[in-house]
């Protein structure tokens, strides 16, 4: 039986995601699988990713393993993928998306973002999250936070935080949903591009890339194409607070996107709807509108203060 080698990060969440996909692959294509865990540059850096290259550091070594033939496919968190990927690779499948929203994990039971005490200390390593949290409540104290999901949960106590903000999807995939105190409304914190989705990457032109289409969720793939179109036109990375979320509603694709200054004081946002056949173009069109509504100046400020 053919064995498919799956490149993945070493984190607990990445291994859980890749393990789930491996089982789906075995069931659908009747193949054997083998995980190839890799430590990425992003995993080795303790400080701010924004200062040294952004989220692409979480995929660089994994893509190199694909390009060199040391792996046959890769499982990524879609939000970690840069807007541009190597020409020799392609996103061959996008499985069904988990909840794309952010989650408030607070020390106090029943706590919500609105009910947190004035000056509450909230841990997050995301400039997108921190900017939108400060826009919603300028009194909050944002505490920079790195590490995998279990590490961040432990820091809730060890660093005397009132709450941490994590992705609902990551908590669900690790069976940690019980920690969620509030699923934060997208009207308050719009998700990252691709949040909650997995992107399965393979070498372009190979039969496996075509076979993976059997595991593709059409709706999620369309939504992700719109969000990545928005990201690509803005040239976004994790150093710049960009957010976007698309959803199919009655055969129409609705996309919301924004750019925001790191302190949350200025925002340019918009929403468009269109045909699902023109998903990426819809994202690019919304990006142009956001740029014209003040987004260009906000991006310049954000990039100048990295």
> How many Å apart are CA 72 and CA 279, to the nearest integer?
28
Collect all residues with Cβ–Cβ distance below 8 Å to 255 and sequence separation of at least 6.
Answer: 226, 227, 230, 244, 245, 246, 271, 272, 273, 274, 282, 283, 286
Q: How confident is the model at residue 2 (pLDDT cuts 50, 70, 90)?
A: confident
Residue 11 lies in a domain: yes
Q: Is there a catalytic annotation at residue 80? A: yes
Residue 10 lies in a domain: yes
The verdict on 22 and 81 lying in the same domain is: yes
**What is the domain count for the chain?**
3
pLDDT (mean) for 293-302: 90
Bridge partner list, 201: 74, 91
Radius of gyration of the chain (CA): 19
The verdict on 225 and 205 lying in the same domain is: no
* Whole-number percent of the chain with pLDDT over 70: 92
> How many Å apart are CA 217 and CA 223, to the nearest integer?
10
At residue 250, does pLDDT exceed 90?
A: no
At residue 52, does pLDDT exceed 60?
A: no
pLDDT (mean) for 44-67: 70
Q: How confident is the model at residue 94 (pLDDT cuts 50, 70, 90)?
A: very high
Contact call for residues 195 and 171 (beta carbons, < 8 A)? no
pLDDT (mean) for 13-25: 97
The verdict on 3 and 132 lying in the same domain is: no
3-state class (DSSP) for residue 121: strand
Start-to-end Cα distance in the chain: 50
Q: In what side-by-side order are the strands of the sheet with 182-183?
A: 141-144, 121-124, 163-167, 102-106, 182-183
Catalytic option among 80, 102, 162, 211? 80
The verdict on 66 and 112 lying in the same domain is: no
From residue 270, how far is each of 96, 98, 190, 230, 237 by CA, in Å?
26, 24, 12, 11, 19
How far is residue 123 CA from its own chain's centroid? 17
Q: Is 22 exposed, middle or buried (0-12, 13-18, 19+ CB in 10 A)?
A: buried
Q: Domain with 11 in it: what CATH number?
A: 3.40.190.10
pLDDT of residue 140: 98
Collect all residues with Cβ–Cβ distance below 8 Å to 250 and sequence separation of at least 6.
Answer: none
From residue 30, how far is each of 4, 27, 33, 222 by CA, in Å?
11, 6, 10, 27
181-238 tens-digit pLDDT: 999 999 999 999 999 999 999 999 999 999 999 999 999 999 999 999 999 999 865 5
The verdict on 91 and 146 lying in the same domain is: no
The verdict on 202 and 77 lying in the same domain is: yes
Q: Is 100 exposed, middle or buried (0-12, 13-18, 19+ CB in 10 A)?
A: buried
The verdict on 209 and 241 lying in the same domain is: no
Residue 164 lies in a domain: yes
Residue 52 lies in a domain: yes
> How many Å apart are CA 39 and CA 29, to the nearest integer?
28
Per DSSP bridges, beta strands 267-275 and 252-260 are: antiparallel
The verdict on 60 and 201 lying in the same domain is: yes
The verdict on 84 and 124 lying in the same domain is: no
* pTM (predicted TM-score): 0.91
121-176 tens-digit pLDDT: 999 999 999 999 999 999 999 999 988 999 999 999 899 999 999 999 999 999 99
The verdict on 245 and 286 lying in the same domain is: yes
The verdict on 206 and 250 lying in the same domain is: no
The residue among 159, 183, 207 that closes a domain is 183
Bridge partner list, 123: 143, 164
Residue 210 lies in a domain: yes
Give DSSP secondary structure letters for 213-279.
GGG--HHHHHHHHHHHHHHHHHT--TTS-EEEEEEEETTEEEEEEEEE-TTSS-EEEEEEEEEGGGH
| Three-state SS sequence of 56-119 | HHHCHHHHHHHHHCCCCEEEEEHHHCCCCCCCCEEEEECCCCCCCCEEEEECCCCCCCCCCCCC
Q: Domain with 259 in it: what CATH number?
A: 3.30.160.40
Residue 159 lies in a domain: yes
Contact call for residues 96 and 199 (beta carbons, < 8 A)? no
The verdict on 84 and 201 lying in the same domain is: yes
How far is residue 62 CA from its own chain's centroid? 17
Residue 171 lies in a domain: yes
- Residue 288, domain extent: 217-306
Residue 189 lies in a domain: no
């Amino acid at each position: 039986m053919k064995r498919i080698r799956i490149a993945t990060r070493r984190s607990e969440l990445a291994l859980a995601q890749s393990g789930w996909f491996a089982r789906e692959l075995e069931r659908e294509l009747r193949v054997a699988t083998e995980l190839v865990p890799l430590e990425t540059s992003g995993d080795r850096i303790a400080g701010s990713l924004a200062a040294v290259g952004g989220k692409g550091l979480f995929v660089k070594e994994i893509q190199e393993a694909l390009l060199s033939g040391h792996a046959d496919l890769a499982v990524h968190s879609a939000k970690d993928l840069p807007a541009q990927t190597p020409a020799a690779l392609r996103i061959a499948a996008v499985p069904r998306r988990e909840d794309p929203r952010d989650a408030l994990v607070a020390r106090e039971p029943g706590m919500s973002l609105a009910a947190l005490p004035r000056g509450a200390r909230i841990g997050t390593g995301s400039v997108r999250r921190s900017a939108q949290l400060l826009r919603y409540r300028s009194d909050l104290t944002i505490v920079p936070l790195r590490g995998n999901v279990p590490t961040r949960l432990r820091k809730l106590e060890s660093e005397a935080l009132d709450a941490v903000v994590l992705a609902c999807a990551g908590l669900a995939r690790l069976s940690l949903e019980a920690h969620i105190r509030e699923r934060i409304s997208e009207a308050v914190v719009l998700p990252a591009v691709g949040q909650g989705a997995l992107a399965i990457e393979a070498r372009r032109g190979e039969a496996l890339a075509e076979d993976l289409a059997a595991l593709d969720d059409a709706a999620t793939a369309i939504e992700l194409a719109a969000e990545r179109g928005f990201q690509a036109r803005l040239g976004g990375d994790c150093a710049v607070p960009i957010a976007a979320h698309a959803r199919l509603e009655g055969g129409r694709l609705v996309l919301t996107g924004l750019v925001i200054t790191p302190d949350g004081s200025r925002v340019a946002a918009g929403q468009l709807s269109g045909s699902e056949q023109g998903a990426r173009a819809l994202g690019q069109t919304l990006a142009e509108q956001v740029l014209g509504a003040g987004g260009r100046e906000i991006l310049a400020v954000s990039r100048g203060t990295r």
